[in-house]
Amino acid sequence: MGEVIVITSGKGGVGKTTTTANIGTALALEGKQVVLIDADIGLRNLDVVMGLENRIVYDLVDVVEGVCRLKQALIRDKRFKGLYLLPAAQTRDKNAVNPEQMKNLCEELKKHFDYILIDCPAGIEQGFKNAIAGADRAIVITVPEVSSVRDADRIIGLLSAQGLNTPLLVVNRLRMDMVKKGDMMDIDDTIDILGIDLLGVVPDDERIIVSSNRGEPAVIEASSLAGQAYRNIAKRIMGEDVPLIQLENNDRFIDKLLGLFKSKKKN
Amino acid sequence: METQQPVIFKGTRNGLRIYIDQDSKWEEVLESAAEKLKNGKPFFEGSRVNLSFIGREFSSLEQKKILELFSEYMEPGSVAFMDKLPAEQEDQPSNHDSHIFDSIEEDMTRFVRGTVRSGQRIFYEGNIVVLGDVNPGGELIAGGNIVVIGTFRGVAHAGVSGNANAVVASYRLQPTQLRIADYIARAPEGETEKPDYPEIAFIKDGRLIIEPYLPKRVKA
């Protein structure tokens, strides 16, 4: 029996889709059977980020409406064994599906997969209600900005009203240099306000944008720090105890050199 | 002796008592009630209130009319019509400055366990005690006092029905906005030092004041 995990944030543009793609890929690389569901009907993105756009024939709405069988709509990612995508419809809107149908869909998928990851749309309306309907667990994504944390807080409240009481937090796009200067909220402040357990911290990494545009998840790049962070998150989801990456050590060589000079001057 | 108003609202812990002057015309009564409700709209809005109409005999049409009027502003709980208060409930009818809730020493209290998050609003006619944090965007509205055993970062309105004796106290008081009765205070602009001790907010000499409630424990 698989586990349904919804990835949500309230605010748009904080990295729900990227996170879904990367955690899903990382879980598949660990040998799990994984299906990614794009619940953002009308504004689908997950297929693009996964590089599977040109293989869509049927979508989620077709499945719930009985136009096709579930198996026909699932797109197998040929690069990663055990990874599938259920794309969203682009020509419909969120009202094309109701929470009851999503629940049934999740129950069906649970029989065949280890992990079902749902990419939730931004907002708290119908799309959000659909996305969380069948979920067993929730991951809340936030970036270290006040507005994003505020929305995450609202989302945590709404999740708990739906019985998803212990969501896990992913702090995305953290910039250590800005935190050090005091220009960005640090992780402790964020956790202090939200009061939920931390699943992982993903550093800001331009290569994520490059890999998203190419349709290749960053987790396959061994050198990508963000990719490493996502691989660790996947391991934590599987129940492994992996320490957080030390982001402070990611200074460029030249910075370290300059730091050395500075500290010498002080002496 | 002040002139008798056609309608007087008086709050009790069991709900709202509406005293209606039996000599006033029915039209005046409705008009006066409508005006009072309009003024008090933010206080009443969306809340569930027990109503007792007191002071005259009401025809069924009159009962229906006045109830319709009140329903526009609040959700009526139990409703009673009586020409006179039962003797044991009689309390100084001469006291016209009406408080829905005028005791702060003891009253009904609502306990909230866990964090009150953005978008959540808790309303209670008595006191509210939160065993947890209140985050920005969360609101507590109480007829009486508000106590937060955690960090308070949201909006609080204590003494919402006009009780300026009400207080807001918190383990860490960092509100977005504080209101007590008709007084409103907001957090100062810019970066301010956040005290790491419990504080209490109250009204003194017409100003909303925040100070530590254990002054001796705070190092100067």
| Structural domain boundaries in chain A | 3-203
Residues 6+ apart with CB under 8 A from A177: none
Is the backbone of residue B76 left (phi > 0), alpha (psi -120 to 50) or beta? beta
Q: How confident is the model at residue B89 (pLDDT cuts 50, 70, 90)?
A: very low
Distance in Å, alpha carbon of A184 to nearest chain B alpha carbon = 14
pLDDT at A267 over 50: no
Closest to B149 (Cα-Cα) out of B137, B140, B157: B140
Closest to A17 (Cα-Cα) out of A52, A63, A57, A58: A52
Q: What is the mean pLDDT of chain A?
A: 91
Which pLDDT score is estimated for B187? 80
pLDDT digits (tens, 9 = 90+) for B7-43: 888 776 667 778 888 777 888 888 888 888 887 777 6
Contact status of B24 with chain A (Cβ, < 8 Å): no
Relative to beta strand B121-124, strand B139-142 is parallel
Say which DSSP state A218 is in: G
Q: What is the mean pLDDT of chain B?
A: 80
Which pLDDT score is estimated for B101? 45
pLDDT digits (tens, 9 = 90+) for A251-260: 555 555 555 5
Q: State the average pLDDT over residues A235-257.
A: 75
Q: State the average pLDDT over residues B172-183.
A: 93
Q: Report CB contact under 8 Å: B137, A193.
A: no
Q: How confident is the model at residue B44 (pLDDT cuts 50, 70, 90)?
A: confident
pLDDT at A121 over 50: yes
Given a contact cutoff of 8 angstroms between Cβ atoms, the answer to whether B164 and B158 are in contact is: no
Distance in Å, alpha carbon of A128 to nearest chain B alpha carbon = 16
Q: State the average pLDDT over residues B125-134.
A: 94
Residues in chain B within 8 Å Cβ distance of A195: 115, 133
Q: State the average pLDDT over residues A203-207.
A: 91
3-state helix, strand, coil in chain A (%, to 5): 45, 15, 35
Nearest to A157 among B117, B136, B151 (CB): B117
Structure-model confidence comparison of residues A221 and A33, the more confident one:
A33
pLDDT at B96 over 60: no
Percent of chain B with pLDDT over 90: 35
Closest to A136 (Cα-Cα) out of A112, A166, A111, A169: A166
Residues in chain B within 8 Å Cβ distance of A154: 117-119, 137
What CATH code would you report for A3-203?
3.40.50.300
Q: Report CB contact under 8 Å: A150, B120.
A: no
Distance in Å, alpha carbon of A250 to nearest chain B alpha carbon = 30
Residues in chain B within 8 Å Cβ distance of A194: 135
pLDDT at A61 over 80: yes
Q: How confident is the model at residue A262 (pLDDT cuts 50, 70, 90)?
A: low
Q: Report CB contact under 8 Å: A153, B137.
A: yes
What is the spatial distance between Cα B199 and Cα B213, in angstroms, rounded to a whole number?
A: 5
Q: State the average pLDDT over residues B53-59.
A: 78
Q: State the average pLDDT over residues A82-99.
A: 94
Nearest-by-CA chain B residue for A196 = B115
Q: DSSP letter string over A34-97?
A: EEEEE--TTS--HHHHTT-GGG-SS-HHHHHTTSS-HHHHPEE-TTSTTEEEEPPPSSS-GGGS
Q: State the average pLDDT over residues B39-68.
A: 76
pLDDT at B111 over 90: yes
Q: DSSP letter string over B64-99?
A: HHHHHHHHTTSEEEEEEEESS--GGG---TT--S--
For chain B, the distance separating the N- and C-terminal CA atoms, rounded to the nearest angstrom, is 51
pTM over 0.80: no
* Interface residue of B113, B134, B135, B149 to substitute, partner A, most A CBs within 10 Å: B135
Structure-model confidence comparison of residues A246 and A65, the more confident one:
A65
Closest to A140 (Cα-Cα) out of A3, A1, A10: A10
Distance in Å, alpha carbon of A14 to nearest chain B alpha carbon = 18
Nearest to A154 among B117, B133, B153 (CB): B117
Q: How confident is the model at residue B105 (pLDDT cuts 50, 70, 90)?
A: low
- CA distances to A204, A252, B23, B136, B137 from A14, rounded to whole Å, are 11, 26, 65, 20, 20
Which pLDDT score is estimated for B214? 74
Order across the sheet with A75-76: list the strands: A75-76, A83-86, A34-38, A115-119, A3-8, A137-142, A168-174, A197-203
Q: Report CB contact under 8 Å: A154, B115.
A: no
Contact status of B137 with chain A (Cβ, < 8 Å): yes
SS3 A15: coil
Which pLDDT score is estimated for B38? 81
**ipTM for the predicted complex:** 0.74
The Cβ of residue A168 has, within 10 Å, a number of other Cβ atoms equal to 17
Order across the sheet with B199-204: list the strands: B109-113, B127-131, B146-152, B168-173, B199-204, B207-212
What is the spatial distance between Cα B34 and Cα B15, in angstroms, rounded to a whole number?
A: 18
Residues in chain A within 8 Å Cβ distance of B151: 192
Q: How confident is the model at residue B99 (pLDDT cuts 50, 70, 90)?
A: very low
Q: State the average pLDDT over residues B48-56.
A: 77
Q: Count contacts between A and B (CB, < 8 Å).
A: 27
Relative to beta strand B7-12, strand A197-203 is unpaired
Structure-model confidence comparison of residues A225 and A252, the more confident one:
A225
Nearest-by-CA chain A residue for B152 = A193
Q: Report CB contact under 8 Å: A195, B115.
A: yes
pLDDT digits (tens, 9 = 90+) for A150-181: 999 999 999 999 999 999 999 999 998 888 88
- CB burial readout A37-47, b (16+ within 10 A) else e: bbbbbbebbbb
